[in-house]
Structure 1
């Protein structure tokens, strides 16, 4: 039996005129809820990680809890700001902004251990460099030269 072969063009979300569109299963509201849920869950994870590193296996204290929740709130606010700002950036700045944010976050959490500031900075730079390379490649392959996203 003969099977239909895929067409040589890329399938794009929302290209209803040609009939090659992928179905949009979730609504915009669902995407927004998931985006905020992941941001808050990531903030809680980073806050817990930073508080656990700071106490170094010792007892959980009120100051440790306050530090963890403060870290969570700051991370959520900064992550929301990065999400809002990067939506309008070109691929180079988009990748660089996320690399600085995630590298800085890792450096801050790593600095809560007993390691030196220099080692924390080197680790943050390494994580940031890897994030930049991966995201730049992803954005380079999913955007045109003007910065318009293609699925």
Structure 2
């Protein structure tokens, strides 16, 4: 009885020009994350001020969205150059900073914001490390 031989996995090589192709998902995910965090930050400030929208809240939301978007986009561009431990750590740190900042906006103490940020960031870092370890 004939059996089919397993063929080795073939990977596409980048062209010699060094130009790298970026998928649309690499732009969409940081943008969605940025908009979500920006709206979240602005709404936290709005609810803290009695529900009245002000220009400062909009500025905070836009600046937060731009900063988180740039950091997430940059991490997405360099993640393949990092070993899996540093890649998981980078995603954990980005999550910890984001959650800690949002917690501090909700009039939480510095220790509370840092504690929640570190706890969530550590959990995300461990999950990402497990994912990269099992899929590489």
TM-score, length of structure 1 as denominator length: 0.73
Q: Which residue of 2 aligns with 1:52?
A: 43
Q: Which residue of 2 aligns with 1:88?
A: 81
Which residue of 36, 54, 57 maps to 1:61? 54
Which residue of 83, 104, 115 maps to 1:111? 104
Q: Which residue of 2 aligns with 1:76?
A: 69
| Number of corresponding residues | 123
Alpha-carbon shift at residue 58 of structure 1 (Å): 2.2
What secondary structure sits across from 1:32 in the alignment?
coil
Q: Which residue of 1 aligns with 2:33?
A: 42
Q: Which runs of 5+ in 2 are unaligned?
A: 12-19
Residues 45-91 of structure 1 show CA distances to partners (whole Å, capped at 9, x for unaligned) of: 00000111122252111111111011111111111111122221111
Q: Distance in 1 between matches of 2:131 and 2:25?
A: 21
My pick for the range that moved more, 119-128 or 76-85, is 76-85
Alpha-carbon shift at residue 97 of structure 1 (Å): 0.7
Alpha-carbon shift at residue 12 of structure 1 (Å): 8.3
CA 1:67–1:13: 2 relative to 1, 3 Å: farther
Alpha-carbon shift at residue 119 of structure 1 (Å): 0.1
Q: Are the counterparts in 1 of residues 26 and 73 from structure 2 also a CA contact under 8 Å? A: no
CA 1:13–1:101: 2 relative to 1, 3 Å: farther
Alpha-carbon shift at residue 13 of structure 1 (Å): 6.6
TM-score, length of structure 2 as denominator length: 0.80
Q: Which residue of 2 aligns with 1:125?
A: 118
Q: Which runs of 5+ in 1 are unaligned?
A: 1-6, 16-27, 144-151
Q: Distance in 2 between matches of 1:128 and 1:59?
A: 32
Aligned CA-pair RMSD: 2.4
Alpha-carbon shift at residue 32 of structure 1 (Å): 1.5
